[in-house]
Amino acid sequence: MQTRLINRQKRVEGAVLAASQQPGTGAWLPLFVWLLTEAVIIFTTACVTSSPLVVPPGEILNFRGQASFYFKSPEQQGRCRLNFFFETPVARARLEVLNPLGGLESILWLSGESATLYLTSERLVWQGTTSFLLSEFLGGQISVEDLSRLLTGQVARLGGSWEITGETSGRAISGRKADLSFELKDYFSGNQVPRTIIFQTESYLARLRLSKIKFNQDSKTELFRPSFPAGAREVSWQELSTLWKK
């Protein structure tokens, strides 16, 4: 791919040199159109084929990023955008679910085994366990620690009884624990941080496709502390689940 881009650039440079040796302005009009087309092709191809360079630090204290999220079950399927924030030493996270237009639909706060889900439009709050909420979100039980390790490509540090398989160039790309499996499809340039993570059970599929990730950024403690506006109402999972992911 890079060779083709270089050859295309050389053709453009040659055309410019040839046209500069011709008298008059008539030869420049078709050349200008052709040059513009070639430049667009080169720029577009470079943008599509290149992967952003992401280099994690030696010690990851926290990280944040953006992703697209797709899920599918026998009953429903859907897509949304996702902002995520993790603090690794204390195993806590904040996930913001946005609609395709960027509107905030819901917030998930995860701290150890305590979880809170808030629906912004309905002002409904649910509180329960992290294992249950992530099971509803990703299809199977997974801890905050293990989710953060997958997002940062630290597969070798997964806890519990994960069975890791399918290693390529020293990078584990798939694994299973109980009925939940994961697969790392591709990576950011320069390291093991995955761009696509697929979670799957027999009846559920969830796909995270990362577009951006940053490490060790300044963050406020309040970001990971559940907070709601006046009038928010706490409800049971049975009531909230009829509205979530709709």
This prediction's pTM: 0.77
Q: List Cβ neighbours of 202 (8 Å cut-off, separation of 6 or more).
A: 179
The residue ranking higher by pLDDT, 12 or 214, is 214
> What is the tens place of the pLDDT at every residue in 14-69?
554 555 555 554 544 444 434 444 543 444 444 444 456 677 778 999 999 999 99
CA distance 89 to 60: 9
Going by C-alpha positions, the residue among 142, 149, 155, 156 that lies closest to residue 200 is 142
Provide the mean pLDDT of the chain.
83
pLDDT reported for residue 189:
85
| % of the chain residues with pLDDT over 90 | 63
- Looking at domain 62-241, its CATH superfamily turns out to be Lipoprotein localisation LolA/LolB/LppX (2.50.20.10)
Q: Looking only at Cα atoms, what is the longest distance across the chain?
A: 80
Task: Return the pLDDT at 80.
Answer: 97
When mean pLDDT is compared across 20-29, 89-98, 115-124, the lowest value belongs to 20-29
Give the tens place of pLDDT for each residue, 140-195: 999 999 999 999 999 989 988 899 987 656 566 899 999 999 999 889 987 789 99
